[in-house]
Amino acid sequence: MKIDKSNLRSTGKIFLMLSLLIWAAIWAWLNKDRLALAFQFNFGSFLFLVLLAITSFICIGYTNQIFFTYLGTPLKFKQWAALSFASSLTNLIFPLRAGAYFRARYLKKKFTLPYSMFLSTQAVFITMNILVNCLIGIASYAWLHHIEYNAPRSLVIAFAAVFVFCLGLLLFVPPAQNKHNNTGKIYTFILQIHDGWHQLRSSRSLMLKIILLTLILSSISITRLYIAFISVGHPMIPAGCALAASLAGIGTILSLTPSGLGIKEAVIVFIGVSLKIPAEIVVLAAVMDRAVGILVLVTLGSAGGLYIMHESTTSMHSTDGNSPS
């Protein structure tokens, strides 16, 4: 008996989406006591956090859209917004930025965008993200030092070192010279990523747009953390929120755990305790911020994933119907 592979794939995707929902429900149940404490303080702040979370994921999607437009593959609003929520949900479940693979596969199938060029866009975005977060981290540390708050001095040294390294990559890496056809596939693939990197960073208008959007994303992250501390009844100094958010932004870029789970919270607790905030308060604020992100991703991420799956299935059926019998 012949198995319909398209139906099998659709069933697998639906099963994965249900698994994500179940995982989120289990996480909420295991953390129900902390969630109850976090949400009992200020429901209005909670709703504002939800709005900020939605805005941040839309901003991520629009940042990707800027890259896609530059490469000649612009997406419709529904496509890039759904892709952003769905890939962010994938990151929440799987480690090592699995959502990037989700986006890369979609763009390869629908727009034949090469994997190498997609990786080039991610390299540029990650580099700009690190640069912006390092600058925010240095500025917030300087302000904390100015108003006589004690933050670990090693942080500003680490921020400066990483900033100089990434700035050197952005400004001084030359274009690839070796383009011989007899090179191996892996080496050729690396050269293609390098060429794409050089092409993207050579566009000043593109870089300015990415810098602006990265600043907006960082500002949203700082505001989310600030509101989370207000929600649990213990406001944190804005410079402290900026320092924690910038360090968490850098620490979770590789996403060794799903969506940086545990890493981001540890960074927030580390900075909060360093600024003499009780550990239990910092944990509540970190859980509040994480819970809002999970809530938004489980709902809108699931909807975005279903939209992408439906669109892919429709496109596949349309292609099959137009093929010669």
Q: What is the pLDDT of residue 9?
A: 57
Nearest to 93 by CA among 153, 16, 172, 35: 16
pLDDT, position 151: 79
In this prediction, residue 75 carries a pLDDT of 94
Structure pTM? 0.83
Residues of 178-196 as b/e, b for ≥16 C-beta within 10 angstroms?
Answer: eeeeeeeeeebeebbbbbb
Question: How confident is the prediction along the chain (325 residues), in pLDDT tens digits per residue?
Answer: 445 555 555 566 556 556 656 766 676 677 667 666 655 556 678 889 999 999 999 999 999 999 999 999 899 999 999 999 999 988 888 887 889 998 999 999 888 999 999 999 999 999 999 999 999 999 999 999 888 787 788 899 999 999 999 999 888 877 766 555 556 788 888 888 888 998 998 899 999 999 999 999 999 999 999 999 988 888 899 999 999 999 999 988 877 788 888 889 899 999 999 998 998 889 888 988 988 998 899 889 989 988 988 877 765 544 444 444 3
Q: What residue ranges do the domains of the chain occupy?
A: 38-314
Burial 254-284 (b: 16+ CB within 10 A, else e): ebeebbbbebbbebbbbbbebbebeeebbbb
Count of alpha carbons within 13 angstroms of residue 149, beta-carbon side: 21
Q: What is the pLDDT of residue 319?
A: 45
CA 12, 13, 16, 18 dihedral sign is negative
